A and B are shown apart, each in its own frame.
Chain A
Amino acid sequence: MIRPGLLLRLVVFTALIAFLAMPDRFAGLLAPLTDNGAPAIYNQGSLVSLTLSHLFTVALATSAATIVAVGLAIFVTRPAGAEFLALSRAAVNIGQTFPPVAVLALSVPAMGFGEGPTRLALFLYGLLPIFENSLVGLSTLPPAVVESASAMGMTGRQRLLKVELPLAMPLIIEGIRLSAVIGLATATIGSTVAAKGLGEVIVAGLQSNNLAFVVQGGVITGILAVLISDGFQILARRTSKRRGASPQASRPATDGQQAPV
């Protein structure tokens, strides 16, 4: 039995792959959006390679942000890093009021044009949700669990790896999901600073007044964002199920909410 939601996603995913593989077959569908015989399918580069470099930029920045943010969250929740805890909470709150597009634009004077500023902005902004969620996950563990782990004779390191991180994992994955979705959107805007990605298609459409370009770029990025977000959500659900009944479900986290970018 396949649930209707899953079926719909499979259909959408197949349609996306089909479009990326043979975009010209779909030209008839988009042609009504063009004027004066303008091309209906983006013709200044391959859609597949733009999609791949878009995804690569996001994957690279999000992985780096994950490593750094989880590392920092572990550090400030150990006794050795405790004095940084309050400040890092405040810093994350303040940081998240910065619009990602401003972070992107401000990276340009520092890094020049191209992939550099986009990756830097994605990385910097991507740190915030992952750090926040890891912090909530690691600092709100039921004390009884942590104490019994110590009572069993686990060292601090064992406790972290075998108890604390696995328990916090669903929240950490939720943070990575937020970061990836924000990253995907910011990378789209990155095309205005000459980063290779799907935003290029939208920008080209806006500049040449070709709605077909705008719509295909928009729809591809939109679908990618929704599918990636769903993937992480399924992963988060799996990990929290594997841990058995979850006290996490009732824990105040980010409520699964996110800001669009």
Chain B
Amino acid sequence: MTTLADAATDGAATPRIDRLGVVIAILMAVALALPFVTFRATRIAAGNGLRLFDALPPTAAAAVGAVLIAALVTAVANRRPSLRLALGALALVALALGAGAAGTHLTPADSPYARIAPGSGFWVGLFAGAILMTDAMVRLKLGPVGRLIALAVTVALVAGLLASGAWSHLSLIAEYRSRADVFWREAINHVILAGGSLAAAVVIGLPLGVVAYQLRAIRDPLINVLNIIQTIPSMALFGILIAPLGWVAANVPGAHAIGIRGIGTAPAFLALFLYSLLPMVANTVVGLNGVSRAVVDAARGMGLTVFQRLLQVEMPLALPVVLTGIRIVLVQNIGLATVAALIGGGGFGVFLFQGLGQTATDLILLGALPPVALAFAAAVVLDAAIEISGRGKA
């Protein structure tokens, strides 16, 4: 009986139709049916959805529609990963160019307040195209260098679209234009918060991890304390740190002069640093633990001192695991730095929470999309670095 049942399920494992492709095709079809862009008379007025053929001149609409339908058909009917990758990418480009063209086409010459934003159809189509591409990349088993190239091409395409002015009539860009100075200032704040706390965590966390690896007695208590810190919600930790830092600023001579305040960057930076310690310390310990005893003994036999052994043998071998810790920290800090705006710490969160306060969708997007993109890019780069550093090591 079992064998029969197994045979039946095994048979089902290789169906003729690609069911994932069917899901993608359905999403694409939904995307074509939903409004492609929304038109609003003013920045915060209610939106009015426009389908593809209402949003674009007929030829442009037909071109975008044709590309999306080609992607839809490929998803169902063709299993070649390279073709699926190409069609997925083409669909994303068509959506991006189409949305920009709709912005230009629909913006009335006499009404500078009108806002055109990508609609639900655009987002669903983007999602479907992204799945098609991701699936193709998984099947192509793209190596680290290939993934870095794909990222670089994506960044170049987006930068090119932004620079060319193809999107200049979209509301998100309008929102950016009206606060370009502040945007870049907060972008730098965001990067300093996320990157600076990472740097501090590497400088302190690596040695701490090495010490914890060598002294069993402090390892468990240290990791336990860091674990508890890690569990505290960011908004709570940001808030809790305001009181002691405010006290330090008021009572320690010189603290105020170097920028320590109760609210603002200081508590945010300290909180991000504290959060970063666990992945750094724990991964250093795990990485060093994973170095084979035989290698360490051989190094000792060669007459290397403890310090030489650590720097020349153990740390290089532990590098991939340590890099994994850095990846965790960087991705999480880019996200958490967004919350820092709540306590005056700056960063992209400034726009996100302002947007929430004004119910201005474009402003929310302006604050939410950059950290998403940054975190994603950081993950791709570090994943590639981890894979490359791990090559040829047991």
Contact = CB atoms under 8 A, between A and B. Distances in A.
B279 interface: yes
Contact of B332 (A218, A222, A260): A260
Interface string A17-30: 00000000000000
Given A90-B134, A109-B364, A257-B282, A99 B375 contact: yes
A221 B5 contact: no
B67 interface: no
B279 A257 contact: yes
Interface string B278-302: 1100100010000000000000000
Contact of B134 (A94, A100, A109, A219): A94
B367 interface: yes
Interface in B226-256: 227-228, 230-240, 242-243, 246
Contacts of A229: 231
A155 B356 contact: no
A181 B231 contact: yes
B233 A105 contact: no
Contacts of A184: 233
Nearest to B383: A93
A217 B19 contact: no
Contacts of A185: 233-236
Given A100-B335, A184-B233, A192-B353, A215 B239 contact: yes
Given A86-B139, A99-B372, A193-B356, A226 B335 contact: no
B212 interface: no
A21 to B, nearest CB: 21
Interface in A81-125: 82-84, 86-87, 89-91, 93-94, 96-102, 105-106, 108-109, 113
27 contacts: A79-B12, A87-B131, A99-B335, A102-B368, A102-B369, A102-B372, A108-B359, A108-B361, A150-B6, A155-B5, A185-B236, A188-B233, A189-B234, A202-B236, A206-B239, A206-B343, A211-B242, A214-B239, A218-B235, A218-B237, A221-B233, A222-B231, A222-B233, A222-B240, A225-B231, A225-B232, A260-B231
Interface of B: 1-2, 5-6, 9-10, 12-13, 18-20, 131, 134-135, 137-139, 227-228, 230-240, 242-243, 246, 262-263, 275, 278-279, 282, 286, 328, 331-332, 334-336, 338-339, 342-343, 349, 352-353, 355-356, 359, 361, 364-365, 367-369, 371-372, 375-376, 378-379
Interface of A: 33, 78-80, 82-84, 86-87, 89-91, 93-94, 96-102, 105-106, 108-109, 113, 150, 153-156, 181, 184-185, 188-189, 192-193, 199, 202-203, 205-206, 211, 214-215, 217-219, 221-222, 225-226, 229, 255-261
Given A99-B336, A219-B240, 10 more contacts: A90-B137, A98-B375, A102-B338, A153-B2, A185-B234, A193-B356, A206-B239, A221-B235, A222-B240, A261-B335
